[in-house]
Structure 1
Amino acid sequence: MTPSRDGDSRAASRAEEPHPDVRAFLEVYESLDTPDFSEITPEMAREQFTTMLGGGDPAVELPAVEDRSIDAPDGEVPIRLYEPSQDPDPDRPLILYFHGGGWVIGSVDTHDGSCRKLADESGYPVASVDYRLAPEHPFPAGLRDCYAALEWAEAATCDRDTAEAGGGIAADSDRIALAGDSAGGNLAAATALLARDRDGPDIAAQLLIYPVTGDATETESYEENGEGYFLTAEEMAWFEDHYLADDVQRGNVYATPRRAADLSGLPPATILTAGFDPLRDDGAAYADRLEAAGVPVTYHNYDDMIHGFFGMVQEPANFERAHEAYSDAIADLRARLE
């Protein structure tokens, strides 16, 4: 897919109707009469989301998948490592992945399929971070875990012998990419901003998949797509209310990176959005802000897709366009990392 870079018209980039895969999915989803997350408790929402996305046989078999815990300032943070090679190359990049779920739901389990596919098709190891969730742990707890994982990743990359002895990951500390979807895209963008401001670990690239970056309620896509396309406006408000405790936090640039006055010096970015997603214009606006600040940006808009489509790569929701998005994202990562 050719990246969309058409100035102001990009904000209206929605197909006439959703892709047939999406229409079939929405028909089944609506027939289940599943309650909006905004109508239930966080605990119930987590259980519902895990039932939807977790469990089952892995779609992609890898040489090794390992659960670990890393030390962080606020306690241990679970991570899951995906090894795509029997003979790991210490000079390869590493992808640090932050899962989506509105900062309230989601886990390494719900995004296991996405990380397996990303590792398998890129050939890069992936470290998926099980950061703390709101409302038990509101902002900035999850971000603190993600930044701690970045510091760990920089320190853990090492030669093959050390990695095989259980002391780290065979990868290049100068080629760490941050990636995440939705709330995870927000955390990836915020972690990159925090690393720049703290003169922290170097980040070679960022992959932001329909990220939350600012106030989406100000956008046309929020009005167009706030109901009937899987993610609803009411759910977005519910997630944000749990994550951000007060108005002061809502103005914090590490909660909403698009509010930052200066975005220069950030890592090259690939940003993916979906035409029928309330967050479409938010991601597009962040691409524009980064580009205006001199940051190299590649932007892809899948105009007939919905929020969450990137994870729909195995039955019962196996979207043709999702596989296309992985190919595009991995091609961009390779162009920046190799």
Structure 2
Amino acid sequence: MRPAIDPGLAGFLEQAAAAGAPPITAGSVADARTGNAEFLRTMRTRQEPVRAVEELSVPTRAGDLPARAYLPVDEPVAVVVYLHGGGWVLGDLEGHDQLCRHLAATSGAVVVNVNYRHAPETRFPGPAEDAADAVAWAAATYPYPVVVMGDSAGGNLAASAAVASRDAGVRLDLQVLLYPVLDADLTRESYRRNGDGYLLTAADMDWFWDHYVGDGDRFDPRASVLRVDDLDGLAPAVVLVAGYDPLHDEGIAYADRLAAAGVPCDVLEYPGAIHGFMTLHAVSPLGEQAAEEVAGLVRRRTTAAV
């Protein structure tokens, strides 16, 4: 028998179903972006106290990317390159503002929220290259342990950047993958179990992959990171998964492969959560609890790395 879904998240899903809310990917790309931004705005319930917020430009091989750095109150313990979710298509610096503030305030790290280029205007491998370049920039800029973190499609980019960093000899101390996209195989059991009715649907993921890769190979290991042949020597990992998420099983499969390759890996399982729950601040405290658990691991793992 499955664990019960978190009450706040269950109520949110029931209200959405009763209202006949359209899928995330309904309409045009512009429509989806507008709807996603408006929805995330309703989820922002407060501003976390941080010492300062700085607008930055992060240099990459394709030009400068807009970014926003959240500075903790005390001397930083690390720098986190944060890559937001949104299926490689949606999202911006505002949508994950509260989460990044909370992570900076509770982890003691500088959190740099990077607005990588989005599909379909920039398809794969452009966003993955942006992520790798942002990590290399952070490693060359900050005198602290370096963490790459992302949720959903941002988790995909973070995982890809961790592989690219290893291959390029770039310093990286920790990768944190929050309900990440790790494979283009949409037939896993968690897709069958959770592919409809839990915010992110299997159809949404097919739409996102189409926009990200286009006519390219969805199973290229830089996109479907679960298919990377050799995981040896990657940065230690934290993989967070949600029980009612279509992506649950690929997250567990990647964590298992990391462990088998000798990569230290913490798995954080939230059985009663849905995809994206860490940004659903207004409907459930579960996301904030998860953010605090992640922040605590970042602090402990990076302090041990010094």
TM-score by length of 2: 0.94
- Report deviation, 1:217: 1.5
- Report deviation, 1:324: 2.2
1:336 maps to 2:301: yes
Q: Distance in 2 between matches of 1:88 and 1:329?
A: 19
Which runs of 5 or more structure 2 residues have no equivalent in the other structure? none
Whichever of the two has the greater Rg, that structure is: 1
Choose from 288, 293, 306 the match for 1:323: 288
> Match for 2:102: what amino acid?
K
Task: Render the CA deviation track for 1:152-209: whole Å, top value 9, x for unaligned.
Answer: 112221xxxxxxxxxxxxx41xx1011000000000000000111222x211011100
Worse-matched range after superposition: 58-67 or 95-104: 58-67
Q: Give the equivalent residue in structure 1 for 2:209.
A: 240
Does the 8 A contact of 2:184 with 2:209 survive in 1?
no
Choose from 125, 133, 140 the match for 2:118: 133
1:116 maps to 2:77: no
Q: Distance in 2 between matches of 1:58 and 1:152?
A: 30
> Match for 2:292: what amino acid?
S
Task: Render the CA deviation track for 1:106-143: whole Å, top value 9, x for unaligned.
Answer: 11110111101100111111000000000111111111
> Match for 2:85: what amino acid?
G
> Match for 2:63: what amino acid?
G
Query: How many correspondences in the alignment?
Result: 302
* Residue aligned with 1:49, SS: helix
Which runs of 5 or more structure 1 residues have no equivalent in the other structure? 1-13, 158-170
Task: Render the CA deviation track for 1:267-322: whole Å, top value 9, x for unaligned.
Answer: 11111000000000010000001111110111011111100011123x3x2x2222
Q: Give the equivalent residue in structure 2 for 1:65.
A: 53
Q: Distance in 2 between matches of 1:276 and 1:292?
A: 26
> Match for 2:136: what amino acid?
E
* Residue aligned with 2:66, SS: strand
Does the 8 A contact of 1:216 with 1:278 survive in 2?
no
Choose from 41, 48, 59 the match for 1:54: 41
- Report deviation, 1:216: 4.1
- Written as runs of structure 1 = structure 2, the 5 A alignment for 1:1-338 is 15-54=2-41, 58-85=46-73, 88-89=75-76, 92-157=77-142, 171-172=143-144, 175-199=145-169, 201-247=170-216, 249-313=217-281, 315=282, 317=283, 319-338=284-303
Is the alpha carbon distance of 1:271 and 1:57 closer, same or farther for their aligned partners in structure 2, counting shifts above 3 Å?
closer
> Match for 1:68: what amino acid?
L
Q: Give the equivalent residue in structure 2 for 1:3.
A: none
> Match for 1:99: what amino acid?
H
Does the 8 A contact of 1:216 with 1:281 survive in 2?
no
Worse-matched range after superposition: 31-40 or 74-83: 31-40
TM-score by length of 1: 0.85
